[in-house]
Amino acid sequence: MSGPRPPVLLTAVRGSAALLATGCLLGMLGSGLVDRGTALAFGALVTLGELTRWTGAEGREAAPLGAAAALSYALLGESGGDPTRHGVAQVVGVVLAASLLGSVPHIARGRPVLDHLARRMLTVGFAAACFQPLFNQGTFHGWGTSYALLLLAILTLTTLCDAVLAAALAHARTRWPFWPLLRDELRATLGVGSAVCATGAVMALAVAVVGLWALPVFSLPLLLTQMSVRRYAAVRATYRQTIASLARATEIAGYTPVGHARRVAALSREVGRELGLSEAELTVLEYAALMHDIGQLSLVDPVPAGATAVLPVEEQRRIALLGGAVVRQTGVSPQVATIVERLADPGPEQPVAARIVRAVNAYEEKSRDAGPDGPLKALEELRLGTAGDYSPEVVGSLAMVLSRDCLTRPGAG
């Protein structure tokens, strides 16, 4: 039985990238490889960047060195004072070959590379098409200092197009709302993306004056920055694992079912995305969802199945306050503790993250052991409780997320 067909947008983007790559490769093979030394030098740098690519925060593929080298080659008009002779076709062909070579280890590990390569081909092709034909016609000769501003403008526009493309691809794959995805991509661009633009422009200008010796000199700072960002991402991953381990304390002690906190955290994050929360807000939401039951450790006798949603309001509030106190002792962000403390205080003043965790936790508890119709019945109960206990917006977003997953039971995962 064949799998589900990919969304139309994914097919269109991949098809466009494939057509561009095929056409440029055929054009490069037909005209031959010119300025081979320059092509090999930039190709080697792109390959190195792809080899050091890693999955950064929030699952983003990060290859700043490869991106800077590819964009620099697309905007290269001179090398050591001599005009270059390569055009758009050779730029795309060289970057494609180098990217494929650098992606071999990632492919061997089973990591997805298709969308990453498609974005790389389209963005590099766009930058080269904006620059190479006009430069070869002499349009930019005599621009002086404005020439550097031109390169930065082209790189900025290319980076914005890449952010839109990345958000559109993520929307097509996950069906998450487009505008929050685009906002997060643009925010990420302000970090490493700014360094990529600056390095790409500086490398193109430096190679034009001093030749290929400028490549290792100006790529080293970006490589060191990449290593630092990678270490920071590793620290964040360890931090999250520590929180997840602490959240399992209630499961080990028998207060909550195994996997309950993980399921609530995963579904809460999906609902948060549906509501348009930023990546930083989603991280805080996930941490609060993982630790939302930590206050149950103060109970003498465990609640049956850990279902706090059926407890009296005062008991829920006491557990939430104790949980917040425990969270504050762990060194986690005070925002997480505040959310945990406000879980039992429904109302307009309740933080959005607390509303999400409250509704998702109740849904998971009500649907977990309720049979095949459990998800529908649980969602209906939440809708009936929107007059006071649960936020109508959160319940509506929860219904949207569950409808995309065909009302999959959280307990099944």
Question: What does pLDDT average to over the chain?
Answer: 89
* Res 304 pLDDT > 90: no
Tell me if 1 is assigned to some domain.
Answer: no
Residue 218 shares a structural domain with residue 252: no
pLDDT band of residue 413 (cuts 50, 70, 90) is: very low
* Res 214 pLDDT > 80: yes
Structurally, the chain folds into a number of domains equal to 2
- The first and second tokens of residue 72, run together, are 């620099």
Residue 127 shares a structural domain with residue 69: yes
Structural domain boundaries, residue 370: 248-412
The answer to whether residues 163 and 186 touch, using CB atoms and an 8 Å cutoff, is yes
pLDDT tens per residue across span 340-367: 999 988 888 899 999 999 999 999 988 8
Residue 253 shares a structural domain with residue 228: no
Residue 182 shares a structural domain with residue 259: no
The answer to whether residues 120 and 161 touch, using CB atoms and an 8 Å cutoff, is no
289 vs 168: CA distance, rounded Å? 28
* Residues linked to residue 82 through DSSP beta bridges, in sequence order: 79
292 vs 319: CA distance, rounded Å? 9
Residue 361 shares a structural domain with residue 391: yes
* Res 2 pLDDT > 50: no
Q: Which of 168, 202, 233 is the last residue of a domain?
A: 233
Closest CA to 344 of 369, 367, 323, 328: 323
> What is the pLDDT, as a whole number, of residue 13?
94
Tell me if 238 is assigned to some domain.
Answer: no
Tell me if 187 is assigned to some domain.
Answer: yes
> What is the pLDDT, as a whole number, of residue 5?
55
The answer to whether residues 364 and 411 touch, using CB atoms and an 8 Å cutoff, is yes
Residue 225 shares a structural domain with residue 277: no
Residue 338 shares a structural domain with residue 215: no
* Res 412 pLDDT > 70: no
Tell me if 2 is assigned to some domain.
Answer: no
> What is the pLDDT, as a whole number, of residue 411?
47
CA 41 to chain centre: 30
